[in-house]
Amino acid sequence: MAKRYFVTGGAGYVGSHLVAHLLDVGHECVVFDNLSTGHRQAVPPGARLVVGDLADAAAIDAALKDGPFDAVFHLASLSLVGESMREPMLYLSVNPGNTARLIDGCVRHGVPRLVFSSTANLFASTDTPPFDENTPIVPGSPYGESKAMIERMLYWAGQIHGLRTASMRYFNAAGADPRGRFGEDHTPETHLIPLTIDAALGRRPPLVVFGDDYPTPDGTCIRDYVHVTDLASANLLAVEQIANGSACYNIGTGGGFSVLEVIRAVERVSGRKVPFNIAPRRGGDPAVLVASAARFTQETGWAPAFTSIDAIVETALAWRISHPRGYGE
């Protein structure tokens, strides 16, 4: 049965792929985005775009008044770990404050469910991976702290207002739509795979590898890369699952790849060398972030379709070659 969904941040990287997936399976979507980091061209045809800001309670109210909506997918946030280390109060005020206004809007307009894009940055580097939902929450940055604050807000929204929620703790979103419709276009770009591809293609200076002295096999950080279309399918399964009650889920593949392994994958797939330089570690970067998604898999049957780093890189490379200026074309 077709449902009607409200997607904040639906013009962004993960958001656009989620909206495309929802439309592909027959649902209706309204995208709410201020386009500060998203792209009008990334909103899939068939979705209605409302340009608005979560800082504006009246704008949220006006958009939700156009309901009813079966659920909200909340993906809009400030999301740069490095920036949060420089401007902590910005992150600790904007992300929770915007979400509080959105929750209030959901309660006023009778939205029964909310799926929230949380983060793996909730977890400390001192814990032993893979991280499951019982791993202690010790955020590695003000960005991670802001997401932890929101998870507690959602808990109380459920306790007091009956809002059913899922907090989806993404590990590293990666890749692009396999059909070539949507991809990754950030300004500035901070994600490893597009940076590595662009270095291989000669579109930017040599890649900077932050730290080669971590306690990992090759000294570089290890991350769990989840294909963006797998995240989209996980979100839809989550909104159906929380009919049974609220939950928090770690979303990853259960495997990880180091920075140097990603570089080698890009070299294999592209047939080009990746120039890179080693720099000191960055603050807030854990050595290893790998998820256990066993709980989510057991409860929903979800399994990532993309588990090979080469397959993930192939989709990202194809989109970047066909869109050399991103959505700027």
What is the CATH number for 241? 3.40.50.720
- Cis, bond preceding 188 (omega within 30 deg of 0): yes
Structural domain tally of the chain?
2
CB of 52 within 8 A of CB of 63?
A: yes
Kindly give the interhelix angle for 88-108 and 57-64, rounded to the nearest 10 degrees.
Answer: 30
183 domain-assigned: no
pLDDT digits (tens, 9 = 90+) for 240-268: 999 989 999 999 999 999 999 999 999 99
Query: The CATH number of the domain where 215 resides is what?
Result: 3.90.25.10
pLDDT, position 43:
98
What is the pLDDT averaged over residues 223-251?
97
pLDDT, position 329:
53
Regarding whether 105 and 8 lie in a shared domain, the answer is yes
Judged against a pLDDT cut of 80, whether residue 315 lies above it is answered with yes
pLDDT, position 300:
97
316 domain-assigned: yes
> What is the token pair recorded at 20?
């495309």
Domain that holds residue 152: 4-173+225-251
Regarding whether 319 and 244 lie in a shared domain, the answer is no
pLDDT, position 240:
95
DSSP 243: G
187 domain-assigned: no
Regarding whether 97 and 26 lie in a shared domain, the answer is yes
pLDDT digits (tens, 9 = 90+) for 15-49: 999 999 999 999 999 999 999 999 999 999 999 99
Judged against a pLDDT cut of 90, whether residue 81 lies above it is answered with no
- pTM reported for the whole predicted model: 0.96
* Catalytic site includes residue 143: yes
243 domain-assigned: yes
Judged against a pLDDT cut of 80, whether residue 283 lies above it is answered with no
> What is the token pair recorded at 45?
């045809």
Regarding whether 16 and 162 lie in a shared domain, the answer is yes
Report which of 288, 147, 287, 168 is spatially closest to residue 230, judged by C-alpha positions.
168
pLDDT digits (tens, 9 = 90+) for 114-152: 999 999 989 876 667 899 999 999 998 999 999 999 999
Rounded CA separation 117/188 (Å): 21
pLDDT, position 286:
82
> What is the token pair recorded at 128?
């032993």
The H or E element containing residue 60 is: helix 57-64
Judged against a pLDDT cut of 90, whether residue 68 lies above it is answered with yes
Regarding whether 21 and 161 lie in a shared domain, the answer is yes
> What is the token pair recorded at 59?
């704008």
pLDDT, position 127:
63
Percent over 70 (pLDDT), the chain: 98
Regarding whether 292 and 238 lie in a shared domain, the answer is no
Rounded CA separation 291/12 (Å): 23
Cβ-based neighbours of 257, under 8 Å, separated by 6 or more: 222, 223, 225, 265, 309
Regarding whether 160 and 55 lie in a shared domain, the answer is yes
pLDDT, position 16:
98
Q: Which residue has the higher pLDDT, 282 or 283?
A: 282
Q: Which of 143, 170, 214, 225 is catalytic?
A: 143
pLDDT, position 39:
97
Judged against a pLDDT cut of 90, whether residue 282 lies above it is answered with no
Report which of 150, 67, 70 is spatially closest to residue 113, judged by C-alpha positions.
70
